[in-house]
Structure 1
Amino acid sequence: MTRLLKVGIAAAVAFTLTACGTTAGTPEETPADGGTTTQAGGSEAPAAGATEEYEPGDVVTPKDGKKLKIGAAFPILDQFLQTVADGMQARADEAGVELVVVSAQERADVQLSQIENFISQGMDAIIVLPQDTDATDPITSAVTAADIPLVYVNRRPAALPPEVPYVGSDSLIAGHLQMEALGELAGWEGNVAILQGDPSQEAAQMRTQGCKDIIEEHEGLNLIREQAGNWYRDRGLAITENWIQSGDKIDIICSNNDEMALGAIQALKAAGQLEDVLIGGVDATSDALVAMEAGELEVTVFQDAKGQGAGGVDTAIKLHNGDPVPSVIDVPYLLVTPENIDEFK
């Protein structure tokens, strides 16, 4: 199969966030359908369990005039997550809030210890990007027991209480967008391999499922390989080298992120097979956009890192203010192709 460069562009959707803050009303205020509740004076506030879509608005500031100190616990500060941290810092600076960022170097035990330190330091709010989305109960319990506002960002916990908000994107949609575009390029025929992120994390689980959903809808697409590269470029390179050596014909690589996709590109270039494989990633990192302009990466999916960071800070401040917030603040994904790449530079 020859390499194609045209990709159908997904329609952009406008998103508006009308309110954020503490999640739940009283039991009698919370409707069974997880919609909105009516507050005194007739205004509507999001109920526990509600989802709203996010668009950056005016900066949120503490109503009590306090100089807030917010702790942000990251699993690691790679290229993408550093951009999330930068978005948080920019928003914190606008709001006059002190932000303390720590990285756990991908160790869940270290992250829990760092969060316990935040609690002992008396942080006014805590933002967490969990290392292990299947094991966040100790974090949630510790922070909420200390009566400190808690916001999860970017990586959605498997167990997310409705009163603890999450700011991020629906990873299932990312998998759908990239695989739909790759499938269309391939004429809905070919062998597919999936490069998966860390299997313990919701983003890897759901992006992989999104790829599989589209594959299962088309008889001409066959999933023949799936392996975890834990988000790293060198792992994407090594895994793809092994796939090449196996002799299996691979027509499409659906990668959970750009870093692993870039590793796959390196392996295929070295083997002289890049022209025969369609590759998609997620995140729209600067390196990925360079690869796309070079004709090496077919598609990626923009994840608004700065928007997630800003939304996390806004939500933390609103929780401090006692304002209502929905349980989920959705920051939408957008498909990036050679046709619309200039919008994402």
Structure 2
Amino acid sequence: MHSSRIRRASVLLLAGAVAALGLAGCSTTDAGGAPTGSKTIGVSIADQKSLFYIAAADGMKAAAEEAGYTLVLESADNDATRQVNQVQNLLTQQVGVLIYTPQDATAAGAGVRLANDAGVPVVALDQKPETDDVEISTFIATDSVKAAYDVCTWMFEQMGGEGDIAVLQGPLGATAELQRTEGCKKALAENPGINAVQWESAGWDETQAFDTTQNILTAHPELKAVFGESDAMALGAAKAAQQAGRTGMVFAGIDGFPTMFTAISDGLTQATMAQQPYMMGKLAVENAIQLLEGGADLPQDQYQDAVLVTGDNVAENDPTKFYGPEAARN
């Protein structure tokens, strides 16, 4: 994880790159032409590969269309420099509000600073800027501390309150990683019989989690459970254990992906904390409209609860409730 000094230097370098490159970012526009005026909402999102971000974007589009607002959406494809350039591009199109889901903390600080300098309010979604010298109008995210605490507590109960576990973390220093690690550590502190024998970052990625878990299983033959701070990592861990012939283990994650619902139904994994990205995307647009219409009195943080889904209730929960209509196709 980078130090705050290095991260600050990276922010300044990115801001300088924006000034030099101008409109170098590529744009995906959901409405024809370059919209201007107070009914235009700009969106810069980290990627459109993650099911979470796809669902959030779908919720934004639905809410904007319903309200008669224009939405200009750009995806950074997980490239921080590209994303900051795209923010500059959106600002030149005179968007009234920026909805921002930054790729990382560096992009968060630099992108929000550009919006602040342009006098454009920012609705942050999922990742909060890790710097004190920028302003956001509101921050919308899952209550990741509570989600991790709840699912880890459930997992420890399934283990009978004792045994060894491993934790697969997201990118170290990311907002969600820090909060989910905090939540699980809180549950560990309340369960002295549970021993976390290994903590490893697997970057939210299923393949990386598969490879990492193979090594963990070899090093810890008595391992009873793996907590993945994302569903993708929990799935990768479960598949590694399945390949290794390790049965009777517990695998839990956070996300609520439709694929995780299927895995729980099939018995490959045991639990997930289902987030609500479709609803959160809609909420972001509703907040943006409030800001545009001058009547907004928004809370600084808007943390949304996740729902514990297990083998006992998976049949009663519909993935489209969490990930929108498109979830039915996944």
Per-residue Cα deviation, 1:183-213 (whole angstroms, up to 9, x for no partner):
1111110111011111131001111121111
- The answer to whether 1:344 aligns with 2:315 is no
Distance 1:134 1:211 in 2: 26
Partner of 1:137: 109
Letter in 1 for 2:216: W
Alignment-derived partner of residue 22 in structure 1: none
The aligned residue for residue 69 of structure 1 is: 40
Q: Distance in 2 between matches of 1:223 and 1:108?
A: 33
- Compare relative contact order (CA 8 Å, sep 6+) and give the higher one, 1 or 2: 1
User: SS in structure 1 opposite 2:317?
Assistant: helix
Name the SS of the counterpart of 2:223 in structure 1. Answer: coil
Shift of 1:135: 5.8
Separation in 2, partners of 1:245, 1:133? 34
Give the equivalent residue in structure 2 for 1:235: 208
SS at match of 1:276: coil
Question: For residues 269 and 343 of structure 1, what CA distance do their matches in structure 2 show?
Answer: 26
Query: Is residue 2:72 matched to residue 1:123?
Result: no
1:98 aligns with 2:70: yes
Higher helix proportion: 2
Report the Cα distance in structure 2 between the residues aligned to 1:218 and 1:134, rounded to whole angstroms: 36
Q: SS of the residue aligned with 2:177?
A: helix
Unaligned 5+ residue runs, structure 1? 1-65
Cα distance in 2 for partners of 1:279, 1:157 equals 31
Q: Structure 1 142/320 Cα, relative in aligned 2: closer, same or farther at 3 Å?
A: same
- 1:180 aligned to 2:158? no
2:197 match: secondary structure: strand
Partner residue, 1:260: 233
Shift of 1:83: 0.9
The answer for unaligned runs of 5 or more in structure 2 is 1-36, 320-330
Rounded to whole Å, the distance in 2 between the matches of 1:159 and 1:309 is: 24
Q: How far apart in 2 are the matches of 1:268 and 1:96?
A: 50
Contact 1:131 1:201 in 2 (8 A): no
Look up the SS of the partner of 2:171 in the other structure. coil
The count of aligned residue pairs is: 279
Deviations 1:109-133 (A, max 9, x none): 2111111111112112111111123
1:163 Cα offset (Å): 5.2
Aligned equivalent of 1:79 = 51
Verify: 1:114 aligned to 2:86, yes or no.
Answer: yes
Which aligned pairs between 1:1-345 and structure 2 lie closer than 5 A? 68-77=39-48, 78-133=50-105, 136-159=108-131, 164-273=137-246, 275-323=247-295, 324-341=297-314, 342-345=316-319
- d(CA) in 1 for partners of 2:79, 2:239: 28
Task: Please tell me the residue identity of whatever aligns with 1:87.
Answer: G
Aligned-pair CA distance for 1:313: 0.4
Question: CA 1:207–1:81 in structure 2 vs 1: closer, same or farther (change >3 Å)?
Answer: same
Distance across 2 between alignment mates of 1:229 and 1:140: 28
8 Å CA contact 1:134, 1:201 repeated in 2: no
What secondary structure sits across from 1:157 in the alignment?
A: coil
Where does residue 4 of structure 2 map in the other structure?
none
**1:330 is aligned with what amino acid?**
Y
Structure 2 distance, partners of 1:262, 1:163, is 34
Kindly indicate whether the alpha-carbon contact (under 8 Å) linking 2:137 and 2:298 is maintained by their aligned counterparts in 1: no
Using the size of structure 1 for normalisation, the TM-score is 0.77
Question: Which residue pairs with 1:49 in the alignment?
Answer: none
Shift of 1:162: 6.6
> For 1:224, what is the secondary structure of its paired residue?
strand
Q: Which residue of 1 aligns with 2:14?
A: none
Stretches (4+) displaced over 4 A: 160-163
Q: Structure 1 residues 127, 272: closer, same or farther in 2, change over 3 A?
A: same
CA drift at 1:297: 1.3
SS at match of 1:293: helix
Q: TM-score, normalised by structure 2?
A: 0.80
Q: Distance in 2 between matches of 1:328 and 1:116?
A: 25
Percent identity of paired positions between Structure 1 and Structure 2: 28
The 8 Å contact of residues 75 and 129 in structure 1, kept in 2 or not, is answered as: yes
**RMSD in angstroms over aligned alpha carbons?**
1.7
Bigger drift between 297-306 and 244-253 goes to: 244-253
